[in-house]
């Protein structure tokens, strides 16, 4: 009998490792604060026919009270710093829009009347249905918005049932918040100087909650089923935000390992902070330019903080997501303006729309046919040139923001010089129209550059360079098209290899061609942000890198340890190797040597 009690106690306190999605890196160790936030149990009951109007009014009042509460949170969010404030402001606005949308309110009121049920149950049913409709949408971004709907529903139910809200403001220092779901609005209630991190059952890597975790610098793990039922309040928890682990009741050995890892990360963060203010120069004094790639407005803050010399790639696809119509010139202007203003005189390289094939924005999907082979079909600049109003609106918005600071125009998937010539002609017409209308635009016109991301463009680089003001190598697509391996297909992911000799030859050929033509060339594919490739790319002649803001400090650290003559000799030796396994080995040997030498 005693034995079995002992075993049970031991099992309860034995280390448990729960695996989820690491959405915000870092290590946190602390007591679990388990909240029931997000999982509200709703009781359904029937109401009398005469009580329907009253029940509907109760719902309308709850909507008004929730909207008021959201506006209060908005005021609070404004006091947060940069990226977090912007992201949260955007989300709270989205919640307010959902609350004021007929789609939800009308359907709930109708259901109260049709099923004669209480408002809480009607909200739960309708939120479930709308959430499912969203989740089934083919567009992943839109599908992820199902979570926003659930969040608004939970807020309404909490209000209707007077459920107490689990506060997150006064937690013990270092507490790890564990919940069924954590909304972005919950994260604003967390004080980063007290909360160690958070984990939840619900949410994916691109959810707003994940983005908030990254913005606030809090380690976070999402997607562990029934998480809140697997941890008792006060149990010691380790969060490994990089590996996506929640370790409950760790053994002394695990605790020591993670305490060390946490110290090491803090030291590294300190080092990277110091690097921010240092110049990107090699050991022999060669100056290297490090710029940032940004995809969403809030990322520009990270680019500035990381000390980027400019934005080397602004992907404009975000302007076309999450909507059924095309963004107007004014909307695009307003969005692009925020980047140019934030960069405060540093250059912003704006790429025209790079969607197509299966990734068509909903508004374009109706207008344009999808070919049998989307990756080789009507996409990127080909699509813009076929759909003139789309291109003209983008160019007009870019020309207008060009009056506010230095901008450059970058064209995706250029195949021939005539792509550039055609865009220049449209650019000229749009500029004339705007000038006639007395609209302020960039003067002189912005430089026009081409992505080198299809093998044809890399091979014919001298002709492309003759038509362009600058070039940027997109190794993500260049690798895909050179090797005929879909970059997004997990079945061939192991074959996708930017170190393949053919890819390296093309990168080298493009850099040499641009240098001979005297046209600046950068590289903005994922390779640019991985310090593993820094010495190799410098050795191939690259001097301009553009990457995720989070990659900048590490690449700079690597740049400062490279001797260009030595890197060039080694890179040329690598170009002579028959396969990527050889190249990979040479690369790693050299990287280790530089770190330890």
Nearer to Mg ion, 108 or 319 (CB): 319
What is the three-class DSSP state of 248?
Answer: strand
Question: Which residue's CB atom is positioned nearest to Mg ion?
Answer: 477
Query: What residue ranges bind Mg ion (CB under 5 A)?
Result: 453, 474, 477
| CB 219 to ligand PEP: min, Å | 27
The residues, any chain, with a CB within 8 Å of residue 128's CB and separated by 6 or more, are none
Minimum distance from CB of 476 to Mg ion (Å)? 5
CB of 477 to Mg ion, least distance (A): 4
Closest CA to 242 of 416, 20, 522, 446: 20
Stretch that binds ligand PEP, among 441-449, 463-471, 472-480, 584-592 (CB under 6 A): 472-480
User: Could you tell which of Mg ion, ligand PEP, none binds residue 329, using a CB distance below 5 to 8 A set by kind?
Assistant: none
Considering only the stretches 259-267, 280-288, 468-476, 530-538, report the one whose residues sit in contact with ligand PEP under the rule CB under 6 A: 468-476
Side-by-side strand order, sheet with 16-19: 16-19, 245-248, 236-240, 27-34, 175-179, 195-200, 220-222, 21-24
Other CB atoms within a 10 A radius of the CB of residue 197 amount to 30
Among 101, 254, 476, 550, binds ligand PEP (CB under 6 A): 476
Ordered alpha helix ranges (H), 306-443: 329-343, 362-367, 380-386, 388-401, 417-436
Nearer to ligand PEP, 87 or 453 (CB): 453
Query: What minimum distance in Å lies between the beta carbon of 445 and Mg ion?
Result: 24
Question: How close are the terminal C-alpha atoms of the chain, in Å?
Answer: 62
| C-beta separation of 239 from 176 below 8 A | yes
Q: Name the residue among 424, 511, 528, 404 with its Cα closest to residue 468.
A: 424
To the nearest whole angstrom, how small is the minimum distance from the Cβ of residue 248 to Mg ion? 42
In angstroms, rounded to a whole number, what is the distance separating the alpha carbons of residues 159 and 63? 9
Q: Would you call 558 exposed, middle or buried from its count of C-beta atoms within 10 A (0-12, 13-18, 19+)? A: buried
Q: Closer to ligand PEP by CB, 383 or 442: give it.
A: 383
Cβ closest to Mg ion, residue 329 vs residue 453: 453
Is the alpha carbon torsion for 568, 570, 574, 575 positive or negative? positive
Given the complex with ligand PEP, which of 105 and 479 has the nearer CB atom? 479
- Residue 120 interacts, among Mg ion, ligand PEP, none and using kind-specific CB cut-offs from 5 to 8 Å, with none
Q: Exactly one of 237, 399, 524, 547 binds ligand PEP (CB under 6 A); which one? A: 524
Residues 178 and 237: their CA atoms lie apart, in Å, by: 10
Q: Which is nearer to ligand PEP, 407 or 503 (CB)?
A: 503
Stretch that binds ligand PEP, among 92-100, 161-169, 322-330, 474-482 (CB under 6 A): 474-482
Question: Of 138-146, 280-288, 469-477, 511-519, which part binds ligand PEP (CB under 6 A)?
Answer: 469-477
Q: Which is nearer to ligand PEP, 301 or 354 (CB)?
A: 354
Binding partner of residue 475 among Mg ion, ligand PEP, none, CB cut-off 5 to 8 Å per kind:
ligand PEP
- The catalytic residues are 208, 524
Q: Which does 525 bind (CB under 5 to 8 A by kind): ligand PEP, Mg ion, none?
A: ligand PEP
Q: Report the nearest approach of ligand PEP to the CB of residue 479 (Å).
A: 8
- Binds ligand PEP by CB under 6 A, chosen from 186, 453, 497, 544: 453
Please list the helix, strand and coil fractions of the chain in percent, rounded to the nearest 5, in that order.
Answer: 55, 15, 30
Q: Which stretch binds ligand PEP (CB under 6 A): 418-426, 430-438, 471-479, 492-500?
A: 471-479
- Under the criterion CB under 6 A, does residue 477 sit at the interface with ligand PEP? yes
Total number of residues binding ligand PEP (CB under 6 A)?
Answer: 10
Q: Which of 310, 525, 531, 539 binds ligand PEP (CB under 6 A)?
A: 525
- 520 binds, options ligand PEP, Mg ion, none, Cβ within 5 to 8 A by partner type: none
CA distance 47 to 318: 45
The answer to whether residue 475 forms part of the interface with ligand PEP (CB under 6 A) is yes
CA-wise closest residue to 18 among 264, 184, 249? 249
Phi-psi region of 21 (alpha: psi -120 to 50; beta: other; left: phi over 0): beta
Q: Tokens 């992201």 map to which residue?
A: 87
Report what 315 binds from Mg ion, ligand PEP, none; CB cut-off 5-8 Å by kind: ligand PEP
Residue 520 token pair: 């600046």
- For position 474 contacting ligand PEP by CB under 6 A, the verdict is yes
Residues 331-370 within binding reach of ligand PEP (CB under 6 A): 354
CB of 252 to ligand PEP, least distance (A): 45
Tell the smallest beta-carbon distance from residue 295 to ligand PEP (Å): 8
Distance CA 220, CA 28 (A): 9
Q: Which partner from the list ligand PEP, Mg ion, none does 239 bind, CB cut-off 5 to 8 Å by kind?
A: none
Is 335 or 375 the residue whose CB approaches Mg ion more closely? 375
What are the backbone dihedrals phi and psi of residue 590, each rounded to the nearest 5 degrees, phi first? -65, -40
Partner whose binding site includes residue 223, from ligand PEP, Mg ion, none (CB under 5 to 8 Å by kind): none
Which CB, 122 or 524, lies closer to ligand PEP?
524
- From the CB of 415, what's the least distance to ligand PEP, in Å? 14
Compute the least distance from the CB of residue 545 to ligand PEP, in Å: 12
How far is 223 from 61, CA to CA, in rounded Å? 34
**Site for ligand PEP, residues 289 to 318, rule: CB under 6 A:** 313, 315
SS3 per-residue string spanning 273-315 = HHHHCCCCECCCCCECEEEEEECCCCHHHHHHHCCCCCEEEEE
Binding partner at 391 among ligand PEP, Mg ion, none, C-beta below 5 to 8 Å by kind: none
| CA distances for 461 relative to 409, 416, 458, 536, angstroms | 18, 9, 5, 20
Q: How many CB atoms lie within 10 A of CB 379?
A: 22
| Residues in CB range of 480: below 8 A, 6 or more apart | 375, 486, 487, 496
For ligand PEP, which is the closer residue by CB, 329 or 477? 477
Residue ranges in contact with ligand PEP by CB under 6 A: 313, 315, 354, 453, 474-477, 524-525
């Amino acid at each position: 009998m005693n034995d079995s009690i002992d075993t049970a106690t031991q099992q309860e306190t034995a280390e448990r490792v729960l695996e989820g999605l690491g959405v915000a890196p870092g290590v946190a160790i602390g007591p679990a604060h388990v909240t029931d936030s997000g999982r509200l149990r709703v009781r359904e009951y029937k109401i009398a026919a005469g009580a329907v109007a009253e029940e509907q009014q109760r719902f309308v009042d709850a909507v008004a009270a929730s909207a008021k509460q959201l506006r209060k949170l908005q005021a609070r969010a404004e006091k947060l710093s940069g990226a977090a404030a912007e992201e949260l402001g955007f989300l709270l606005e989205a919640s307010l829009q959902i609350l004021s949308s007929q789609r939800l309110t009308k359907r709930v009121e109708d259901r109260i009347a049709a099923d004669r049920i209480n408002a809480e149950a009607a909200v739960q049913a309708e939120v479930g249905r709308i959430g499912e409709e969203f989740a089934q949408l083919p567009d992943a971004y839109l599908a992820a918005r199902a979570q926003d709907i659930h969040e608004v529903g939970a807020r309404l139910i909490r209000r209707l049932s007077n459920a107490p809200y689990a506060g997150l403001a006064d937690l013990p220092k270092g507490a790890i918040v564990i919940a069924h779901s954590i909304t972005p609005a919950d994260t604003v209630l967390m004080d980063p100087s007290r909360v160690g991190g958070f984990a939840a059952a619900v949410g994916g890597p691109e959810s707003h909650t994940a983005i908030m975790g990254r913005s606030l610098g809090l380690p976070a793990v999402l997607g562990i089923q029934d998480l809140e039922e697997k941890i008792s309040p006060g149990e010691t928890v380790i969060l490994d935000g990089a590996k996506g682990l929640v370790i409950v009741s760790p053994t002394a050995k695990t605790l020591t390992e993670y305490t060390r890892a946490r110290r090491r990360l803090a030291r590294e963060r300190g080092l990277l902070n110091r690097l921010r203010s240092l110049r990107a120069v090699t050991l022999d004094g060669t100056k290297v330019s490090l710029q940032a790639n940004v995809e969403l407005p809030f990322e520009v803050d990270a680019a500035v903080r990381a000390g980027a010399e400019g934005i080397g790639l602004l992907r404009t696809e975000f302007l076309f997501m999450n909507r059924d119509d095309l963004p107007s010139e004014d909307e695009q202007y307003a969005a692009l303006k925020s980047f140019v203003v934030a960069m405060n005189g540093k250059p912003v390289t704006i790429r025209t729309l790079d969607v197509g094939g299966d990734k068509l924005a909903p508004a374009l999907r109706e207008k344009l046919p999808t070919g049998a082979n989307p990756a080789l079909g009507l996409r990127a600049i080909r699509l813009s040139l076929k759909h003139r109003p789309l291109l003209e609106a983008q160019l007009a918005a870019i020309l207008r923001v060009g009056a506010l600071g230095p901008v450059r125009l970058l064209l995706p998937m250029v195949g021939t010089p005539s792509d550039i010539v055609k865009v220049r002609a449209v650019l000229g017409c749009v500029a004339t129209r705007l000038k006639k209308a007395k609209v302020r635009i960039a003067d002189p016109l912005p430089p026009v550059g081409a992505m080198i991301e299809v093998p044809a463009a890399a091979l014919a680089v001298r002709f492309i360079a003759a038509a362009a003001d600058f070039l940027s190598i997109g190794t993500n697509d260049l690798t895909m098209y050179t090797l005929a391996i879909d970059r997004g297909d997990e079945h061939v992911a192991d074959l996708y290899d930017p170190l393949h000799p053919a890819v390296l030859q093309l990168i080298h050929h493009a850099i040499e061609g641009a240098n001979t033509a005297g046209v600046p060339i950068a590289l903005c594919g994922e390779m640019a942000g991985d310090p593993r490739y820094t010495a190799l790319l410098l050795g191939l002649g690259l001097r301009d890198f553009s990457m995720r803001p989070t990659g900048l400090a590490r690449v700079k650290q690597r740049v400062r340890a490279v001797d260009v003559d030595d890197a060039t000799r080694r890179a040329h030796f690598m170009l002579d190797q028959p396969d990527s396994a050889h190249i990979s080995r040479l690369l790693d040997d050299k990287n280790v040597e530089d770190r330890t030498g």
